[in-house]
């Protein structure tokens, strides 16, 4: 069985143990003092496949430099399918360091960041021929061999080739049905109410989003204008950011010609889920009877969404022919 060496290694230390497999080789001297080519571990499962580790205690380069080598071996599918298993995976291999001062795992992974290609018959064994200098490994003070024991491990993450992706359409789509994009609100006793607090609507739905509108009668400059706040009421623990362009307008219900509106665009996200119009219009203008904004002591406000970015249902991205 051919071994495939990964020449570019990324090395670091960590205290947390390997997620999928740990094995202790004990007594290590029984392996090192004989002419054994390698130690093959028992089989473990990860990502729907069966694997094992191959530990080579005496690998020598052409320059006669000695190393220990550690490889991951694909055994087959957990389901036992007869056809040869072909797997794309990323993995880490581990060697425990145990000294009075330090208990941690030397961790080695593919330094190129590639997803590795395994094949049950043609590319079964991948790993690191130069995992660690043998002289360093066997030096007692380094702590890789202690009490005639060494500990190796593995983490294997299989890529199924069925990535779910959300499509965010930018620029946003213009909305084709204006009537379904407008919500109207009527505010009663508007002339007599000078409540410093904002009047808020119930949560409402518009273009598949959840909203809440607040109308404040003490906008900027202080207590001299009407202000609005439109807030997205999605569950922002999981909801993705989205863009909206919308208009807020106060209707002239008497003459139909003094309607006042403002248009704004905004990216909504968990930390910026509301937009405020602090000085939408002066109270003096609002209460001018010739403008027709207040009829029978009722103010009518509309919110219209003009365009909206759309997040579509997840789709499957098929696995490319090769990751190599």
114-125: pLDDT as tens digits: 999 999 888 899
HSE (side-chain half, CA atoms, 13 Å) at 145: 19
Q: Which of 15-19, 108-112, 188-192 has the lowest mean pLDDT?
A: 188-192
d(CA 181, CA 216): 23
Does residue 283 register a pLDDT over 90? no
Selected residue with higher pLDDT from 89 and 180: 89
**Strand residues in 220-295 grouped as ranges (E):** 225-232, 242-250, 260-268, 274-282, 294-295
d(CA 104, CA 109): 16
pLDDT digits (tens, 9 = 90+) for 204-214: 998 889 999 98
Selected residue with higher pLDDT from 255 and 141: 141
The residue whose two tokens read 């499962």 is 45
d(CA 227, CA 274): 13
pLDDT digits (tens, 9 = 90+) for 146-184: 999 999 999 999 988 766 665 565 555 655 555 568 899
Work out the angle at residue 66's Cα, subtended by the Cα atoms of residues 64 and 70, and round it to the nearest 5 degrees: 135
pLDDT-derived band at 192 (thresholds 50, 70, 90) equals low
| pLDDT value of position 53 | 95
| Pair 10, 110: CB distance under 8 Å | yes
Selected residue with higher pLDDT from 64 and 134: 134
Work out the angle at residue 21's Cα, subtended by the Cα atoms of residues 16 and 24, and round it to the nearest 5 degrees: 90
d(CA 103, CA 16): 10
Q: Which domains does the chain have, with CATH numbers?
A: 3-162 (2.60.210.10), 173-308 (2.60.210.10)
pTM for this one? 0.66
Does residue 320 register a pLDDT over 70? no
Q: Provide the token pair at 310.
A: 């759309």
Summarize the confidence of residues 193-201 as an average pLDDT.
Answer: 68
Q: Provide the token pair at 231.
A: 């807030």
HSE (side-chain half, CA atoms, 13 Å) at 67: 14
Give the number of other Cβ atoms within 10 Å of residue 88's Cβ: 19
Residue among 82, 18, 3, 89 at smallest CA distance from 48? 89
d(CA 187, CA 18): 62
Does residue 108 register a pLDDT over 90? yes
| pLDDT value of position 223 | 65
């Amino acid at each position: 069985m051919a071994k495939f060496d990964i020449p570019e290694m990324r090395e670091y230390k960590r205290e947390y143990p390997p997620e999928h497999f740990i094995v202790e080789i004990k007594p290590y001297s029984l392996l090192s003092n004989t002419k054994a080519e390698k130690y093959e571990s028992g089989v473990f499962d990860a990502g729907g496949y069966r694997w094992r580790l191959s530990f080579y205690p005496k690998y020598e380069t052409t320059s006669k430099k000695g190393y220990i080598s550690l490889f991951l071996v694909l055994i087959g599918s957990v389901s036992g399918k007869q056809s040869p298993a072909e797997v794309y995976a990323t993995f880490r291999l581990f060697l425990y360091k145990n000294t009075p001062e330090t208990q941690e795992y030397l961790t080695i992974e593919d330094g190129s960041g590639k997803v590795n290609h395994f094949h049950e018959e043609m590319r079964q064994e991948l790993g690191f021929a130069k995992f660690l200098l043998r002289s360093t490994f066997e030096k007692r003070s380094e702590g890789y061999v202690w009490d005639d024991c060494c500990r190796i491990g593995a983490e294997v993450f299989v890529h199924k080739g069925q990535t779910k992706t959300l499509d965010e359409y930018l620029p946003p789509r213009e909305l084709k049905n204006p009537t379904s994009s407008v919500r109207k609100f009527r505010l009663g006793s508007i002339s007599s109410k000078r409540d410093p607090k904002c009047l808020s609507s119930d949560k409402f739905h518009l273009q598949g989003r959840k909203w809440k509108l607040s109308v404040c009668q003490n906008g900027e400059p202080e207590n001299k204008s009407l202000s609005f706040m439109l807030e997205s009421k999605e569950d922002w623990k999981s909801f993705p950011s989205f863009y909206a362009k919308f208009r807020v307008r106060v209707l002239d219900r008497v003459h139909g010609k003094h309607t006042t509106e403002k248009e704004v665009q905004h990216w909504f996200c968990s930390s910026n889920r509301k937009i405020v119009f602090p000085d939408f219009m002066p109270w003096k203008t609002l209460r001018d009877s010739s403008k027709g904004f207040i009829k029978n002591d009722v103010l009518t406000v509309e919110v219209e969404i003009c365009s909206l970015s759309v997040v579509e249902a997840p789709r499957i991205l098929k696995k490319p022919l090769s990751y190599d």
